[in-house]
Amino acid sequence: MNDMSLMNLQAGKTWVGAAAIEALAARLRGKVLDVSDASYDEARTIWNAMVDRRPALIVQCAGAADVVNAVRFASDNKLLVSVRGGGHNIAGNAVCDGGVMIDLSPMKSVRVDVAAKRAWVEPGATLADVDKETQSFGLAVPTGINSTTGIAGLTLGGGFGWITRKFGLTIDNLVSADVVMANGELVRASLTENRDLFWALRGGGGNFGIVTAFEFQLHELGPQVLSGLVVHPFADAQTVLQQYRQALETAPDELTCWVVMRQAPPLPFLPQEWHGKEVLVLAMCYCGDMAEGEKATQRLRSIGKPIADVVGPNPFTGWQQAFDPLLAPGARNYWKSHDFIELSDAAIGILVDAIGKLPGPECEIFIGHVGGAAGRVATSATAFPQRNSHFVMNVHARWREPGMDPACIGWARQLFEAAKPYSAGTAYINFMPEDEVDRVEAAYGGNYKRLSEIKRQCDPQNLFRMNQNVRPVEERRMM
């Protein structure tokens, strides 16, 4: 290593001597990479191809001690820091330009205590890693809907998916966390230890430290669930969405149904003439008794005249992977999101109109169905405040060529603005792109003030700023 000029917290440059960098490397079980390393480009490349940043140093951590050493190195030198977990992150905050990227992706351990129904998970694990281990014992923690998602980012932002309505958000099942603070101290946060920090971690994102281990409560599930897709012609979308909304009013907590609107991919169960045409898909999962699931899904499956109905018993791990092909790495991605208390006719009309203007074959709109157990937690119980939202819309623009940027980003933004009058005003931070810094305070609503105070206590210099940033209270006053 040579002496290096690194980006600091004042957006300037700090020279760090080769001896200090070599001393850091000597303390690690993992590696320190710079631009001269053959694996540097692979290490800095993340899921969203729009993000092309070049950290000065990448610290690939093998364990908590490596994270402690990396944080102390960055803090002592007041260097810009980004933190990479194991998954997606639409905003691309995992990678910084010119600073230090702390890479947790090698830390993938998952340990299950079957008797206690607990799992201890390292931050580089994906949902696939978690599901494979927990489902081996007929257990599960509620997470998201793509197995390639990272457990760390998902959890810190809230976490919802197919079994949230029955078992709560991911954060509602978080029992404790080991956290490396901005000063390099490793602490434990739970309901009995560092309670303010534990409250903030449950939805406050990566603002307060780096979690090196998550402890989750597990629930009995599977190994099979009743799940699958019902595909409708898009010409029937308005009626299908209205009846979908009505059917969910009496849905049990075990039943979750999401909507996907896009051009049909070449799925083997779809007639070839539908490939590439606009469709509306009802994606459903029932996490209870199969016979009860057949009854509970009947109303949704009786809507309209579907092109295909492939709902049936599936391994839960397989269902968690069903949408992975739609989120494979290497494409350019831009998202916009709203929470809805209800799916009004006006909002439905706006969504239907937008699908008629799709800018590319991979662009789509997701509507997530939440509520249930997740909605029966007080807004102030965790940092995550969106307990009243029944639906979450994610406008997912996805394309390959940079020349399509204006059309695809513009489509997502126009739909976002058109739907805004019918939204709840809150937002799910895991769905927010990097240009939405002005939405962070609104996303947390009445919880933001407490988050800002905890940020001041935990990270007064805002070392952990490469995220949907909660600013320390003093920094807010100076703005």
Q: Which CATH class is domain 110-220?
A: alpha beta
Indicate the CATH number for domain 224-437. 3.40.462.20
Contact 373, 172 (CB under 8 A): yes
Residue of 127 and 3 predicted with greater confidence: 127
Mapping DSSP to helix (H, G, I), strand (E, B) and coil, where does residue 108 land? coil
Match domain 4-103 to its CATH number in 3.30.43.10, 3.40.50.300, 3.10.129.10, 3.90.870.10: 3.30.43.10
pLDDT of 2: 83
pLDDT in tens, 49-88: 999 999 999 999 999 999 999 999 999 999 999 999 999 9
Average pLDDT of the chain is: 96
Question: Which residues belong to CATH 3.30.465.10 in the chain?
Answer: 110-220
**What band does 477 get if pLDDT is binned at 50, 70 and 90?**
low
pLDDT of 388: 86
Confidence check: pLDDT of 192 > 90: yes
Confidence check: pLDDT of 447 > 60: yes
Question: Which residues belong to CATH 3.40.462.20 in the chain?
Answer: 224-437
Question: Using CA atoms, how far apart are residues 357 and 336, in angstroms rounded to an integer?
Answer: 16
pLDDT in tens, 225-281: 999 999 999 999 999 999 999 999 999 999 999 999 999 999 999 999 999 999 999
Q: HSE on the CB side for 358, CA within 13 Å?
A: 22
pLDDT of 1: 75
| Percent of the chain residues topping a pLDDT of 70 | 99
Question: Which residues belong to CATH 3.30.43.10 in the chain?
Answer: 4-103
Confidence check: pLDDT of 479 > 70: no
* Mean pLDDT (whole number) for 375-403: 95
pLDDT in tens, 14-59: 999 999 999 999 999 999 999 999 999 999 999 999 999 999 999 9
**What band does 198 get if pLDDT is binned at 50, 70 and 90?**
very high
pLDDT of 465: 98
Confidence check: pLDDT of 476 > 60: no
Angle (CA) 376 381 382, round 5°: 105
Residues 6+ apart with CB under 8 A from 478: none
* Mean pLDDT (whole number) for 288-293: 97
pLDDT of 475: 58
Own/partner long-range contacts of 18-21 (Cβ < 8 Å, ≥24 apart): 20/73, 20/77, 21/57
pLDDT of 473: 80
Question: Using CA atoms, how far apart are residues 353 and 80, in angstroms rounded to an integer?
Answer: 43
Per-state percent for the chain, helix, strand, coil, to nearest 5? 35, 25, 40
